[in-house]
Amino acid sequence: MNANHVGALYPNSFGNFGLGKAVGVSVAATGNAVAQIPVVGGSSYIVRRIVVANANQSIATGNVTILTSNDGNASNAVSNATLLSSVTSTSTYQDVTLATGAATAVYSAGSLYVKVNTAVSGGTCDITVFGDVVTL
């Protein structure tokens, strides 16, 4: 590999790489694992930021948590339960508050899961996870 070209570098050579994205996530009903966010680019990673954006309508009263398991177990939380008060249209976004453990954790789950705590009738959004790849 010729590492003097950006195209020759792997995701573990950059910071804040897009680790995964779920498009059109429904927040219309509460539940565990309403959406799966497949993590690509690395087998272990550090989550630095989770962004909710591109809502089809205001989902400002919605509340979500991002987990490493599909069972809703709060001990597997990557984020705190977050009210999406800033997500009011396709042109607004909000960073989800990361859980305390995310500050020091290196994750290896192949997917993250969206838990909807408070639903918004007919609401959808996109959720993107950014972070650092530790191991390819």
Q: In Å, how far are 17, 57, 71, 121, 136 from 78, measured between CA atoms?
A: 17, 25, 14, 25, 20
From CA 99, how far away is CA 85, in angstroms rounded? 18
Report how far residue 134's alpha carbon sits from residue 13's, in angstroms, rounded to the nearest whole number.
9
Residue spans of the domains in the chain: they are 27-135
Q: What is the pLDDT of residue 4?
A: 56
Average pLDDT over residues 104-127: 98
Q: What is the pLDDT of residue 115?
A: 98
- Which is nearest to 30 in space by CA: 133, 90, 117? 117
62-69 mean pLDDT = 98
Query: Which of these, 130, 136, 3, lies nearest to 78 by C-alpha position?
Result: 130
CB 116 within 8 A of CB 32: no
Distance CA 62, CA 94 (A): 12
Whole-model pTM above 0.85? yes
How far, CA to CA in Å, does 93 sit from each of 18, 54, 57? 16, 7, 12
pLDDT digits (tens, 9 = 90+) for 7-55: 656 776 766 789 999 999 999 999 999 999 999 978 999 999 999 999 9
Read off the tokens for 73: 């177990």
